[in-house]
Copies of this chain bind each other. A is one copy, B any other.
């Protein structure tokens, strides 16, 4: 790390900082500039993150600048090759483009089965559907819970699709694990560290959605929580961030996809439904996801959005989804990828 001293720092303060650096097992390299001193701290010392925090509190220090990325296991520096998650019959993260589709919430047997058959026929490999719903209002529909999980399992059986569903509390991990193929961590729980740690102990893949307030580095640090506990099968998902713009529900950060893939070896997918919040923007953004190298999509599809219990305005009709898939396929051909 680099420690920049204030222009008013005294000789004693500079020496104190150097000693402090050494006390943590690093070597101190002071550089004397015209107006101030900056000190490089080099080495394989202990507790890098804590040292940065400590150094910021030492008298005379103006700022501390970390040089190394704080994530290790999910970064490209130690593992160069892409992580490829093997599912039964397909992969996430190689030259395959995986589409996860389905309703926002599992509502009824008919709704789910109809949707599952339609998205399967159009090329989706994974059925999405929320059984535990994190809703802003306590008065909104909170999900069918285990009943919803059972319907997802039935849809899997009927269609051969794999299923992904959201987990909102560590208490439900065992229950959800009985049914799901992939755990989904929603944007609001991206920094629910108790949940992440527990998901690091399961063997099924986890899809981690970027928080609407989270930087790319924070997203990678949350993935690091899961991987550092032993579960290497993490999929990242860009689903839009919160900005001042209100025309769209969120602002989908399209650059995040190639940026995450440069920083990390994990697969990255895009959710254009939440990323835009508007049905008419989903297909263009889905195509853009292919263009920037995404490994797949998560899209909300509902046979009757008017009757949806949640998020109807950002759900495609099955026939709109089929149209989206036709468009996406043209771009996959260009990219040499397959569904």
How many Å lie between the Cα of A134 and that of B141 in the bound state? 29
**A36 contacts the other chain (Cβ, under 8 Å)?**
yes
Binds B, one of A92-100, A120-128, A201-209, A302-310: A302-310
How many Å lie between the Cα of A216 and that of B246 in the bound state? 9
**A40 contacts the other chain (Cβ, under 8 Å)?**
yes
Q: Across the interface, do A54 and B257 meet the contact criterion of CB distance under 8 Å?
A: no
Q: Across the interface, do A280 and B258 meet the contact criterion of CB distance under 8 Å?
A: yes
**A153 contacts the other chain (Cβ, under 8 Å)?**
no
Q: Across the interface, do A306 and B191 meet the contact criterion of CB distance under 8 Å?
A: no
Known: A254-B288, A281-B258. A310 touches B247 (CB 8 A): no
**A154 contacts the other chain (Cβ, under 8 Å)?**
no
Count residues on chain A whose CB falls below 8 Å from chain B CBs. Answer: 109
Task: Other than A71-B137, A212-B213, A284-B293, give 18 A-B pairs with Cβ distance below 8 A.
Answer: A40-B40, A49-B140, A53-B308, A57-B313, A58-B306, A138-B193, A192-B192, A241-B243, A243-B251, A243-B253, A245-B253, A245-B256, A248-B255, A251-B255, A254-B254, A257-B284, A288-B288, A291-B291
Q: Across the interface, do A32 and B38 meet the contact criterion of CB distance under 8 Å?
A: no
Q: Across the interface, do B138 and A312 meet the contact criterion of CB distance under 8 Å?
A: no
Encode contact with B along A243-279: 1 for CB under 8 Å, 0 otherwise.
1111110011111111100100000000000011010
Encode contact with B along A12-37: 1 for CB under 8 Å, 0 otherwise.
00000000100000000101111110
> A331 touches which one: B188, B293, B334 (CB < 8 A)?
B334
Q: Across the interface, do B49 and A42 meet the contact criterion of CB distance under 8 Å?
A: no
Binds B, one of A83-91, A108-116, A156-164, A168-176: A168-176
Instruction: Tell me how far the C-beta of A182 lies from the nearest C-beta in chain B, rounded to whole angstroms.
Output: 20
**Chain B residues whose CB sits within 8 angstroms of the CB of A189 once the complex forms:** 192
A contacts, CB < 8 Å to B = 2, 4, 7, 20, 29, 31-36, 38, 40, 42-44, 47-50, 53-54, 56-58, 65, 67-68, 70-71, 77, 134-141, 168-172, 188-189, 191-195, 197, 211-213, 215-218, 221, 224-225, 228-229, 241-248, 251-259, 262, 275-276, 278, 280-281, 284-285, 287-293, 305-313, 315, 330-331, 334
